[in-house]
Chain A
Amino acid sequence: MDEFLLRAVAAGWALAVVAGPLGCFVVWRRMAYFGDALAHSSLLGIVLGLLLGVAPLVGVVGLCAVAALILAWAESDRHTSGDSLLGILAHGALALGLVLLSLMDKMRLDLMGWLFGDILAVSWSDAAWLWAGAVVLLLLLATHWRTLVAVAVDEDLARVEGHPVGRARVVLMLLIAMGVAASMKIVGMMLVTAMLIIPAAAARRLARTPEQMAIAASVAGGLAVVLGLAGSWTLDTPSGPSIVTVAAFLFLLSRCIPAR
């Protein structure tokens, strides 16, 4: 096996490990559209990163964090409709990103790579960064776990029971933003949310507790990475979409397990 495949698996597993628990919160709290919005607006982050002369990924992380904070603030203000605001933010930023991109004609940007990911192009240092990020994310999740699960059950109950709901909500949004930014390189902005939602949904029937579901989602994601890369290698198909296709197939398979 070639070394670039090993690098791809290492990077893909780092993503799968964090996407498992994060994805569970996305499906529990019905935040799928939130992940999509962040992914769409991240194109603006890439372009801004290029314009400012920093790494595109830094731009993505920065923009996702800012967008997450805006949305967290908007969600706490119950007068605005969160749904429309998400759409405005996501597509406004996406359009602005495309406009800015067309203006900088000298800039070479592998748009397809960002749209659909290029996991085969990751370096060992990319993989190391992804794992470092994954560890930080998992630690943050673990320290807020009790509150995050309580909020997933019911926000009002969690508040009455003295959980720091506001802080946990901001932490979760920032973590999802980081997860989205990290998956850009692996599966691309079009399929980022897929890596969050599909393994989590596939894990549902295997689990009887929130923790079991989070772990099963990570395992399902890791399996999708390996099988997807193997398929991509043998059939010469694009790697990101292959991984997501396998994940979707795992989800269908999980539906054959009787509900518990």
Chain B
Amino acid sequence: MTDTPLVELSKIGLTRGGHRILDGVDLAVYPGRILTVVGPNGAGKSTLLKVALGLVGASEGEVRRSAKVVGYVPQRLEIGSLLPLSVRRFLAMAVPERMERDRLEAILDAVGAGHVLGRQVANLSGGELQRVLLARALLRRPQLLVLDEPVGGVDVAGQAELYDLISRQARAERVGVLMVSHDLHVVMAATDHVVCLNRHVCCAGHPEAVSIHPEYLALFGPSVAASLAIYTHAHDHGHCADGRIQPLDHVHGPECRHG
């Protein structure tokens, strides 16, 4: 990979109130690539994203961010019912310049929330708000998308659509994606690089390699890992140990839904 990373963390450590939250974490997000962070609750996933965004300062290590425009979907957004704010206005706030109406509606349609444009943000359901937040992040035409459980609260059919949209954006616009997700099935299918985090990086690499890694199995249990096996998708390339792409002897069949 010759691209410069959009954001690169090296040896990140964070101690808060005597608790070690992150320890020696390295990761880098490249244009057009999707990096997913998985891990149990309290593993420091959301904090890691905030460190990458510069919202939380690390105690040790270095954050280098070259991406100028960043789209962020926080894990939760609480807008009190006392703040009158339409979805249209909420979306328009994401960019400094005036927004063309068509573009706003097109993006909202793409995330499957076209019908909420005139509604008040405080009245949206959890899933609707999550879709609007993703639309808002995309409206900024980001170089880097940072998504903290972007499909939380979204119905199952919608989840697949949204992940599909995210990966299409990554490929077509060469957007780098740094994402936290609990949906291990989808993670394994739509991710280039998985980082398994439990304060430190337990293991990292290509999804299929990570899913059989002993530390990953210890963290999620063999039954979860086994159930993932059915969902792994065929790839038209493999990876060498250093991450370089290596062509596979694979003939596309009628069932292939990739490249």
A residues adjacent to B (C-beta < 8 A) = 27-28, 30, 79, 146, 149-150, 152-154, 156-157, 159-161, 200-201, 204, 207-210, 212-213, 260
User: Is B93 touching A153 in the complex (CB atoms < 8 A)?
Assistant: yes
User: Is B74 touching A152 in the complex (CB atoms < 8 A)?
Assistant: no
A154 to B72, CA, bound (A): 12
Chain A residues with CB under 8 A of B228: none
User: Is B89 touching A209 in the complex (CB atoms < 8 A)?
Assistant: yes
User: Is A204 touching B50 in the complex (CB atoms < 8 A)?
Assistant: no
Give B56-82 as 1s and 0s: 1 = Cβ < 8 Å from A's Cβ atoms.
000000000000001010100101101
Using known A-B contacts A156-B55, A157-B72, A159-B55, determine if residue A27 contacts B77 with beta carbons closer than 8 Å: no
A102 to B43, CA, bound (A): 56
Chain A residues with CB under 8 A of B74: 154, 156-157
User: Is A160 touching B83 in the complex (CB atoms < 8 A)?
Assistant: no
Closest to A260 in B: B120
A201 to B82, CA, bound (A): 7
Chain A residues with CB under 8 A of B53: 156, 159-160
* B84: interface (CB < 8 Å): yes
Q: How far is the CB of A27 from chain B (nearest CB, A)?
A: 5
A259 to B82, CA, bound (A): 11
B residues adjacent to A (C-beta < 8 A) = 17, 50, 53-55, 70, 72, 74, 77, 79-80, 82-86, 89-90, 93-94, 120, 140, 146
A217 to B79, CA, bound (A): 20
User: Is A161 touching B84 in the complex (CB atoms < 8 A)?
Assistant: no
A79 to B77, CA, bound (A): 22
- Which of B17, B70, B82 lies in contact with A160, CB distance below 8 A? B70
Q: How far is the CB of A146 from chain B (nearest CB, A)?
A: 8
Knowing that A28-B82, A153-B93, A204-B84 are A-B contacts, what are 16 other residue pairs whose CB atoms are under 8 Å apart, sorted by A's residue number? A27-B80, A27-B82, A152-B83, A153-B83, A154-B74, A154-B79, A156-B53, A157-B72, A157-B77, A160-B146, A200-B82, A201-B82, A209-B85, A209-B89, A210-B85, A213-B84
Interchain Cβ contacts under 8 Å between A and B, 9 examples? A149-B93, A150-B93, A153-B77, A156-B74, A159-B53, A161-B94, A200-B82, A208-B84, A213-B84
